[in-house]
Homo-oligomer: A and B are copies of this chain.
Amino acid sequence: MVKKLKIGIVGGTGYTGVELLRLLALHPHAELVAITSRGEAGLPVADMFPSLRGYVDLAFTDPATADLSACDVVFFATPHGVAMNQAQALLKANVKIIDLAADFRLQDTALFEKWYKMPHSCADILKEAVYGIPELYRDKIKNAKVIGNPGCYPTTVLLGLAPLLEQGLIDFSAPIVADCKSGVSGAGRKAEVATLFAEASDNMKAYGVAGHRHHPEIHAQIAQLAGKKVDFIFVPHLVPMIRGMLSTIYVKLSASANGLDLQGLFEKRYAKEKFVDVLPAGNMPETRSVRGSNKLRMALHKQADTGYLTIVVVQDNLVKGAAGQAVQNMNIMFGFDESCGLDIVPLLP
């Protein structure tokens, strides 16, 4: 008999929520037992998301009355600050936690408080939490009870840089520059003027001038992989597409990279990774080549005469950048095949 996990989702009305539902609805080991929403309690989920008609029969339940303690795992697809307040009770009930918000991403609580404008309420649990990029931290994820599922931008930048950082091939005398572009779904399913169709369509802009919360997240993880804090510039842009993220990363190569086969290095680093695809030399990835799937694709390009390398990385921001990676983490935590429920051919065109 196939083992079924009892799964709860807290905050199922946003895009990461509906994306979790899309992926879990057909997951052979998943049994959805509760989806909570304060505002929509009682509403059948498929009334809000008609794409789920025939696949999800549950109605939203009030978080106050939902008994999540009977779950094996609970996903938080909520605003920042919700998961950390429920973590202790759930862990006590032996429920594992995958937080798609930021509560368990930054180990430095002072940094968390600075960027998220709230005190961190469970620093002890945070210490045990694992940053959920399987390709970097798979062994820790296996035994984790709490996963801080990474932000969308960080996933692209960190997987793009990891092979170089691990091998010490970057010259940190120049800052690493990440010029990142996101589809509009990354802004969430909130009613806001700036992301209306008539505002965001046929238009693009840079944003987050005063600083974007993914900067400290990426910065800290680069430091982790580099063994020290390094200069890092991050400029996010909003692009008129629903899904899709493309990060163009500029790094100065260290002298030790001279003559190295970087293409080979990247290919080897990710050879066994089902969800990371290094394109053959001379190619450039398109965001649609991963639409709806958990794949992340990247390509390298050496900038002649400058000693710089450009790494271009694409993913679906809602899948590998959010819900897909969360399911991948779940699969690892419970010993399933890592691609279980994630074997999806990207939707092209």
Residues of A within 8 A of B (CB): 15, 18, 22, 25-26, 49-55, 174-175, 177, 179, 181, 183-185, 187, 189-193, 195-207, 209-210, 231-233, 235, 237, 239-244, 246, 248, 250, 252, 274, 277, 279, 282-293, 295, 297, 299, 301, 303, 305-306, 308, 310, 312, 314, 318, 343, 345-349
Copies of this chain held together in the complex: 4
Which residues of chain B have C-beta atoms less than 8 A from A287's C-beta?
Answer: 203-205
Which of B203, B274, B291 has a CB less than 8 Å from the CB of A288?
A: B203
Which of B200, B279, B291 has a CB less than 8 Å from the CB of A51?
A: B291
Tell me the complex Cα distance, A45–B203, Å.
20
Q: Which of A200, A203, A206, A233 neighbours the largest number of chain B CB atoms within 10 Å of its CB?
A: A203
Which residues of chain B have C-beta atoms less than 8 A from A233's C-beta?
Answer: 250, 303, 306, 308, 310
Given A204-B241, A243-B349: 11 more A-B contacts, CB < 8 Å:
A22-B348, A50-B286, A51-B293, A53-B277, A53-B289, A177-B177, A189-B193, A191-B191, A197-B199, A206-B312, A347-B347
Which residues of chain B have C-beta atoms less than 8 A from A183's C-beta?
Answer: 198, 202
Nearest-neighbour CB distance to chain B for A268, whole angstroms, equals 17
Which of B49, B192, B197, B250 has a CB less than 8 Å from the CB of A184?
A: B197
Which residues of chain B have C-beta atoms less than 8 A from A25's C-beta?
Answer: 345
Q: List 19 A-B contacts (CB under 8 A).
A: A25-B345, A50-B286, A54-B277, A174-B252, A175-B303, A177-B308, A183-B202, A184-B198, A187-B198, A189-B196, A192-B196, A195-B197, A201-B242, A202-B241, A204-B286, A232-B306, A239-B239, A250-B250, A292-B292
A185 with B343: CB separation less than 8 A? no
Which of B209, B239, B279 has a CB less than 8 Å from the CB of A282?
A: B209
Tell me the complex Cα distance, A310–B236, Å.
12
Which of B201, B292, B306, B314 has a CB less than 8 Å from the CB of A231?
A: B306
| Nearest neighbor of A300 in chain B, beta-carbon distance | B209
| Nearest neighbor of A192 in chain B, beta-carbon distance | B191
Given contacts A175-B308, A303-B233, contact A202 B348 (CB under 8 A): no
Which of B199, B201, B301 has a CB less than 8 Å from the CB of A202?
A: B201
Tell me the complex Cα distance, A51–B297, Å.
10
